[in-house]
Amino acid sequence: MTTNSFLSRLHSPDRPVIVFDGAMGTSLQTQNLTAEDFGGTEYEGCNEYLVETKPEAVEQVHREFLEAGADVIETDTFGAASIVLAEYDLADQAYSLNKKAAELAKRVAAKYFTPEKPRFVAGSMGPTTKLPTLGHIDYDTMEAGFAEQARGLYDGGVDLFIVETCQDVLQIKAALNGI
């Protein structure tokens, strides 16, 4: 599946509505994951690290959304920019975690793909925990973090990117320029 096939689906008059999945983090919380599932107490709450430590938990969420009828599932990468991962001493794994998350989502989506109902994967890019307009981080550092995240998602095979819940216009600009 390429971006072109997603664009074809997007413009299809036969199926004008595209259904995206729901909240990855909230869905993971319903699994009552332990510190051990996250790889230790130092990583507890880092949902993005689960693609490394407990990928079956992420796969379960993807399957549930696809079985509910989602056309597009989002990668488990909302907070997988190096800027956020640094808070867990995982900044150096940003590229690989994003790539793994994309590959995992693509594998699950492929199992549900049919010509009549193609399934796609969106690379999720969240706002980070820093606001450049408030001086928490400089713009170039933020853009570089998003660029690394986008490379991992792209190399993992996402069909599209989704920049989510940004409150700061500079975050959005950095994410879009990073892509």
Task: Tell me the residue type at 115.
Answer: P
Return d(Cα 57, Cα 134) in angstroms, integer. 36
- How far is it, in rounded angstroms, from Cα 179 to Cα 170? 14
Contacts of residue 173, Cβ cutoff 8 Å, sequence gap at least 6: 139
Band (1; pLDDT cuts 50, 70, 90): very low
**Is the pLDDT confidence value at 124 over 70?**
yes
69-97 pLDDT, tens digit each: 999 999 999 999 999 999 999 999 999 99
Q: Which domains does the chain have, with CATH numbers?
A: 3-178 (3.20.20.330)
